[in-house]
């Protein structure tokens, strides 16, 4: 509901109107008393304010705004114009907000807030010249906070104006204030957000030429150099900034990040430990150190640091997530599940919940795992595709391909034509012996994405394996080879196709290359078969034995054992 004033009393003349805050905007200190100027025609003013409040309580924001704007025109009290401005902004009525802000500024000339709002509103409405002119006036006032005003401006320009218009506004301000470091810095921030790194670096350097010890600008300069591929220079900039301000732990944390990025993990660990020695309560440094210790294999030390963070609000969730990963790594499944389940918010929540599902499967609690996946799809609808695929893979591993097929069919009813779902269902259809559905789904993927190498390869291999339409199979796999020339799965298909074509030398060449890259049982089955048919039977046995030792239940190896029984008699 629109914030409104609760009229505790209605007094004519000097007593004024009093209000309290409601949902959204805080008006506790924004009463409409008129101690500095007399009320206008009392009855008309009171009628307008009361009408505005009643309209607001009923959700009629347009009516509330109309009446407050009229009331603002009747009184010199800036509080009324301020109120009208806030309501207009709340209702996203930019035209009325600009009108109300102009009234507010007229009634309170020393206040910079309405001037800032007016400038931004003009920019939002495309009145760039007028908005820039207002910003020039605003930034020239001795009372304005230049840096915070410009940071707010950059956020608006980045989110609501086109790249060209935003940069044009900042260029105009930079030309108007060539000797103001904050203007150059704001221009650099916007250019960074827009991907104009060379421009951003130039403006950052100009800001630093005026304020050489400005750490915020130094950090931006380092960030830009890193994004432009010069991590070493970025690191050196941060080192110099730290040497000038050795007590600045924020700089040291950023230096640790750069050291990690450039591979100097020992140096990063030293910096983080240094921060913690000076400030044991610096939880940001502690979390960074814990992650670094994990990366360097110091699991016990990492665990100790993470446990210290369990009592902090900011890092509790991520600490629990990493502790869960540590327990999972050591196959302590119940302990891992407890940690993953304790992550109920924050950036690690989704991954923690998916890992919890993995743990439940390992514990044999598959039905519970499936129930959680269903709940996750409701809670994280943007991740539903990934969750459907996770559950389908789970069912396939449980040797329930029909259930996996049905699940993906349901998912496709929700998201028709989704390539990932079609591709996965096609592979499961193959296990069910539904060659018609396999081919139909793969063709649907290729129709939507003609350069989907996986789908091209899968359909080409299916045709080759069934010894059907080999010319079409060759065309499909050749396209996949162009897209993924070094993919062992595609090499395997190409080799298997040539085996079907009777070209054993070509087949062996590609199958051997594929097997060297990826010791997969299916590739081994194909390679062994071509070796056997080429008369190289001992080599075939060696390849097959290696595959069986890895996965004795693999479907292709079961086919080989059935077809070449004599190969396994000794």
Give the model's pLDDT for residue 487: 94
**What is the tens place of the pLDDT at every residue in 443-501?**
999 999 999 999 999 999 999 998 899 999 999 999 999 999 999 999 999 999 999 99
pLDDT at 570: 64
Task: Give the per-residue SS3 of 26-65.
Answer: CCCCCCCCCCCCCCCCHHHHHHHHHHHHHHHHCCCHHHHH
User: Rounded to whole angstroms, how far apart are CA atoms 122 and 115?
Assistant: 11
pLDDT at residue 4 greater than cutoff 60: no
Counted residue by residue, the chain has a size of: 570
Name the more confident of 424 and 125: 424
Evaluate whether 1 touches 39 at the Cβ level (below 8 Å). no
CA dihedral 173, 174, 176, 177 (to 10 degrees): 110
**Percentage with pLDDT > 90 across the chain:** 45
Q: Which residues pair with 11 in a beta bridge?
A: 16
In this predicted structure, the answer to whether residue 3 has a pLDDT above a threshold of 60 is no
In this structure, of 21-25, 217-221, 236-240, 256-260, the range with the lowest mean pLDDT score is 21-25
* Average of per-residue pLDDT across 507-533: 93
Least confidently predicted of 440-454, 504-518, 532-546, 552-566: 552-566
Q: Give me the pLDDT at residue 331, please.
A: 92
Asked whether 229 and 264 are in contact (CB, 8 A), the reply is no
Q: Reduce the DSSP state of residue 11 to 3 states and report it.
A: strand
Instruction: Tell me the pLDDT tens digit for each residue of 380-425.
Output: 999 999 999 999 998 988 889 999 999 999 999 999 989 999 999 9
pLDDT confidence of residue 20 = 30
Would you state the pLDDT for residue 42? 56
**Could you tell me the two tokens for 433?**
């012996």
> Residue 506: exposed, middle, or buried by beta-carbon count in 10 A (0-12, 13-18, 19+)?
middle
What is the predicted pLDDT for the residue at 45?
67
Residue 144 pLDDT level (bands cut at 50, 70, 90): confident
Average pLDDT over residues 5-15: 26
pLDDT band for position 41 (50/70/90)?
low
Q: Is the pLDDT of residue 5 over 70?
A: no
pLDDT above 60: residue 2: no
Measured between alpha carbons, how far is 359 from 321 in angstroms, rounded to an integer?
13
Per-residue confidence band for 118, with pLDDT thresholds at 50, 70 and 90: confident
- pLDDT score recorded for residue 13: 24
**What is the sign of the dihedral through the CA atoms of 446, 449, 452 and 454?**
negative
Q: Please list, residue by residue across 122-136, b when 16 or more beta carbons sit within 10 angstroms of its beta carbon and e when fewer do.
A: bbbeeebebbbebbe
Tens-digit pLDDT profile for residues 61-111 = 787 778 777 877 878 888 887 888 888 788 788 788 777 878 888 888 878
- Cα separation, 207 vs 201, in Å, equals 10
In the chain the first and final C-alpha atoms are separated, in Å, by 82
329 CB burial (10 A radius; 0-12, 13-18, 19+)? exposed
d(CA 423, CA 420): 5
Residue 338 has pLDDT above 60, yes or no: yes
Enumerate the H helices of 415-503 as residue ranges.
419-431, 435-448, 453-465, 470-483, 488-500
- The residue extents of the domains of the chain are 452-505, 519-570
pLDDT value, residue 389: 93
The first and second tokens of residue 140, run together, are 């020239």
- Are 7 and 18 in contact, with CB atoms under 8 Å apart? yes
User: CA separation (Å) from 20 to 7, 27, 538?
Assistant: 8, 6, 90
Split at pLDDT 50, 70, 90, the class of 124 is confident
Best CA proximity match to 214, nearest among 188, 245, 192? 245
Considering the chain, what is the average pLDDT of its residues? Answer: 84
């Amino acid at each position: 509901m629109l914030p409104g004033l609760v009229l505790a009393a209605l007094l004519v003349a000097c007593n004024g109107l009093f209000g309290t805050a409601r949902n959204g905007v805080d008006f506790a200190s924004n009463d409409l008393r008129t101690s500095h100027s007399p009320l206008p025609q009392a009855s008309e003013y009171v009628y307008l304010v009361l009408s505005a409040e009643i309209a607001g309580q009923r959700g009629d924001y347009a009516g509330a705004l109309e009446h407050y704007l009229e009331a603002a025109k009747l009184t010199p009290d800036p509080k009324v114009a301020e109120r009208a401005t806030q309501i207009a902004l709340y209702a996203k009525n930019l035209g009325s907000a600009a009108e109300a802000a102009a009234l507010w500024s007229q009634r309170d000339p020393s206040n910079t807030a309405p001037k800032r709002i007016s400038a931004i509103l003009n920019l939002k409405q495309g009145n760039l010249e007028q908005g820039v002119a207002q910003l020039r006036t605003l930034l020239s006032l001795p009372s304005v906070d230049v840096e915070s005003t410009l940071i707010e401006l950059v956020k608006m320009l980045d989110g609501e104006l086109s790249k060209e218009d935003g940069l044009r506004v900042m260029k105009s301000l930079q030309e108007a204030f060539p000797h103001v470091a904050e203007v150059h810095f704001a221009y650099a921030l916007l250019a960074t957000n827009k991907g104009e790194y060379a421009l951003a670096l130039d403006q950052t350097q100009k800001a630093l030429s005026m304020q050489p010890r400005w750490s915020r600008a130094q950090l931006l300069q380092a960030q830009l150099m890193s994004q432009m591929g010069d991590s070493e220079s970025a690191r050196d900039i941060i080192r110099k900034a730290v040497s000038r301000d050795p007590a600045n732990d924020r700089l040291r944390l950023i230096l640790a990040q750069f050291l990690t990025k450039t591979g100097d993990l020992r140096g990063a660990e030293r910096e983080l430990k240094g921060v913690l020695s000076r400030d044991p309560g610096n939880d940001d440094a502690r979390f960074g150190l814990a992650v670094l210790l994990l990366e360097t294999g110091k699991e016990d030390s990492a665990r100790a640091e993470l446990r210290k963070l369990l009592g902090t609000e900011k890092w509790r969730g991520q600490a629990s997530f990493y502790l869960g990963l540590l327990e999972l790594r050591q196959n302590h499944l119940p302990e891992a599940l407890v940690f993953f389940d304790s992550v109920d918010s924050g950036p690690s929540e989704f991954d923690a919940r998916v890992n919890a599902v993995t743990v439940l499967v390992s514990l044999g609690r598959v039905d519970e795992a499936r129930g959680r996946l269903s709940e996750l799809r409701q809670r994280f609808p943007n991740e539903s595709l990934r969750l459907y695929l996770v559950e389908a893979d789970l069912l396939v591993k449980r040797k329930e391909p029909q259930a996996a097929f049905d699940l993906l069919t349901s998912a496709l009813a929700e998201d028709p034509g989704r390539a990932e779902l079609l591709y996965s269902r096609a592979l499961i259809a193959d296990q069910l012996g539904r060659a018609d559905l396999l081919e139909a789904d793969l063709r649907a993927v290729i129709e939507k994405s003609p350069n989907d190498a996986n789908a091209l390869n899968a359909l080409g291999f299916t045709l080759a394996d069934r010894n059907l339409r080999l010319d079409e199979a060759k065309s499909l796999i050749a396209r996949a080879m162009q897209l993924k020339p070094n993919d062992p799965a595609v090499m395997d298909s190409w080799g298997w196709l040539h085996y079907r074509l009777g070209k054993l030398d070509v087949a062996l060449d590609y199958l051997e290359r594929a097997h060297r890259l990826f010791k997969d049982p299916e590739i081994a089955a194909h390679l062994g078969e071509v070796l056997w048919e080429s008369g190289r039977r001992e080599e075939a046995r060696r390849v097959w034995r290696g595959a069986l030792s890895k996965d004795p239940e693999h479907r292709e190896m079961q086919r080989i054992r059935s077809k070449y029984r004599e190969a396994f008699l000794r």
